[in-house]
Every structure is written in C-alpha cells, then in structure tokens.
Structure 1
Amino acid sequence: MILPDGYSDVPNGKIAAVVTHLEMTARPPRRDDPAGAWSLRRVEQPGLDWFRGLYSRVGEDWLWFSRMRMSDAELAAILHAPLVEVYALVEDDRDEGLLELDFRQAGQCELAFFGLTASLIGTGAGRWLMNRALELAWSRPVNRVWVHTCTLDHPSALSFYQRSGFRPFRRQVEITDDPRLDGTAPRTAAKHVPVIE
C-alpha cells in the first residue's frame, strides 16, 4: 500500500518509522582505521541470553526490538544458521559492539545488525567495525551487500552508511506496537520517541 500525500495518523500505542534500505554492489575503497584498542571476536553458536543482552545494550535507545520479541526457537534458528555470522566488538575485555552478517541469500550479504554501546559512539569504533564488516562481507562470493536503518536509529546512522559506500534504494514506513508498552523494551528507552497510549 502506498500512503497518500500529507499526514497519516498513527494509532495510539503504536510507533512509526521511515525505513531506508541501502546497498552496495561493488566493494568500496577501504577507509583508514581510526586509532583504538578494539578487537573483533566471532561468536560461534551464540548463547541466546548473551545475544539478547548485547542486543539490548546496543539497541535499546534506538528501539531495537524485533529479536526481543522472538521465541528462543525462532532466535536460535537465525543465530545458529550456518550462513549467519555473529561478532562482538571487544574493548577492555568487554563486548561493546554487535555485528551480524547474514549470507543466507545467495550472492548477498545483509548487515542484519550493526551497532555500538553508547560509550563507544563517536570514538571511531563505528568506522573500525564497519571496516571489519565490509572485509568480511566481501570476502565471500557476493555481488551485493545491504543494510537498513530507520528514523528511530541514531541520527547519524544514515549518513554513516552512505559515507561507507552504501546508496539508498528503497524507503518504507513501518508501523508497529510500541515495544515499551508490552514490556519488550523498558519504558525509559528511546526518549527521542514519545510514548502515546
């Protein structure tokens, strides 16, 4: 369904976001790594509690909720799939960033999740992690790497992806139940998105 021009009401208890899908169809020039003491750790067969904990620490303020609503079986089916790779950005022996690469579509890699905890935003760790993400994605026989972001995300996310070599190709509006009203996310999450009951 295409929304008409003008304003469209969002029902109380819901949130709305404009989702932008971005892609690259050729490996971009490598960007310099910023200085920092980060490392990347692949997490084979990630534990669900570990994943949900890091996912929440990275995404709570941006209303990442899709994985929190999944059952254990649904989440394990994704995270333990042979063509899905999960990584943690590590600083001072702590997992402070999340990278999930999904190769399940032949010839493609989706950056399914990419983010940092609040303490690392603005430190250069995002560029460092993106450099690793693109190295890993393009190390496979793929002809397309893609990602999506939305207006609930960090305000710099879209421009960061574009600086990384992604170009927008599709825009959608997503309306869904506010995860703060059913306990999926804390009521205090995402102060930049008002709760309307």
Structure 2
Amino acid sequence: MLKDGYHDIPAGKIAAIVTHLEMREQVMMRPLIAPEGLTLETVKQPDCEWYRDLFMRIGGQDWLWFSRLELDDAALGAILNDPDVELYALMQDGVAQGMVELDFRQPDECELAFFGLTAQMIGQGAGRLMMTHAIARAWARPISRFHLHTCTLDSPQALGFYQRFGFVAYRRQVEIADDPRLSGGLPRDAGAHVPILSQD
C-alpha cells in the first residue's frame, strides 16, 4: 500500500493517475444528427499505417498516446481484425478525424478502448455524436458492463465528458511507464504539458 506523501518518479519515466469508469445499464440517448459535413463510418480491416496515423493525430502529439504505436503490424492487426473489436471513424471530406474503438473480447462486457477527436474537431458536437453511437453499439450486444479508463495525461475535459454520459468512476490507479519521447516512439515535442525527465 502506498504511504501518504510525495513519491519520486524515476528519470526517463512518465506517471499518470488513471480513473476507471463503468456503466452497468444502458443510458438512453436521443439520436443525434451528425454535424454538417461529418459522418461516422464503420472501418473494416483497417490498414495499420492508416490506424497509426489517426491514433497519432488524435492522441500522440497532444496527449502522449503511445500504446498502439509500440505494436508491430502483426500484433496491431490481430486486434483490429478481431471480430469482437469494432472500429468507427469520424470522417470529414474523406479524411478520418476521430475514432471510436469498442472491444468485446471479454465475455459479457465492452471496453471503450479508444475514443477521441483531432484538435480541429473539438467543439463541433462530434464528440456527442460519437459517444451516443458508442453507447448504442455497446449495448446492442448482450453485455452487463460498458467500461473505459482515462488519465491525467489526457485532455482535462475527458473525465467530465464521460461522467456526463453516465459513466461512474469506480477505481483509481497510478500508472508508470517509460517516456515514449525518449525511446523515439513519439516526437520530443509531444505532450508539452508533461515535462521530460531525461536520464541525460
């Protein structure tokens, strides 16, 4: 058990407080009309490079998303092509600007594995459209729990956004990982809100 007080994070590492949230029954949402020029489309068997590009534009540069960038094509493809993983892309003028990834691989539940928009889409109502769709799709299968997690590396708006849609926090953890900017997984200028504690 952690003692109260400050705890050092080693140089070369990043740390985040992770909040786990869940929904135990479907929250009924009114259908939304997509903002003009935007569509939410199912993506079948996505190309790994296409996925990495979208992943990076949504979360890599601003929020230090790195987990999927560390996977090779075989490992990433195995996830994305699994019949129990559903991927949706928010499209604008033929370019993906957001993603909803639903993971049903654990029996009786769905994880909102990834959810996000590129910076230029914020404030246009696209997030509400995507979450309404995510909730409907998750509960279209016979599940008893829809869950996700967010952390202090994410947008400070994320936690409140999820709670407004009916997700309830039930667990908190501290996650420590190698800083992906030092390994070359992300550019050095990514995640400007998190200073690099270099080992140099």
Structure 2-normalised TM-score? Answer: 0.94
- CA drift at 1:158: 0.3
Letter in 2 for 1:3: L
Contact 1:111 1:147 in 2 (8 A): yes
> Superposed, which structure 2 residues align to 1:142-157 within 5 Å?
142-157=143-158
Total equivalences in the alignment: 196
Residue of structure 1 in register with 2:176 after alignment: 175
In structure 2, C-alpha distance between the alignment counterparts of 1:21 and 1:191, rounded to whole Å: 24
Residue of structure 2 in register with 1:160 after alignment: 161
Letter in 2 for 1:50: W
Give unpaired runs (5+ residues) of structure 2: none
> Segments of 4+ in structure 1 off by > 2 A?
31-35
Residue of structure 2 in register with 1:125 after alignment: 126
Residue of structure 2 in register with 1:39 after alignment: 39
Residue of structure 2 in register with 1:57 after alignment: 57
- CA drift at 1:92: 2.4
In structure 1, C-alpha distance between the alignment counterparts of 2:30 and 2:161, rounded to whole Å: 12
- CA drift at 1:33: 3.0
Change (3 A) 1:89 1:106: same
In structure 1, C-alpha distance between the alignment counterparts of 2:195 and 2:124, rounded to whole Å: 28
Other structure's SS at 2:5 match = coil
Other structure's SS at 1:112 match = strand
Contact 1:21 1:168 in 2 (8 A): yes
Structure 1-normalised TM-score? Answer: 0.96
Higher helix proportion: 2
Contact 1:34 1:125 in 2 (8 A): no
- CA drift at 1:106: 1.1
Residue of structure 2 in register with 1:5 after alignment: 4
- CA drift at 1:93: 2.1
Contact 1:22 1:147 in 2 (8 A): yes
C-alpha RMSD of the superposition = 1.2
Give unpaired runs (5+ residues) of structure 1: none
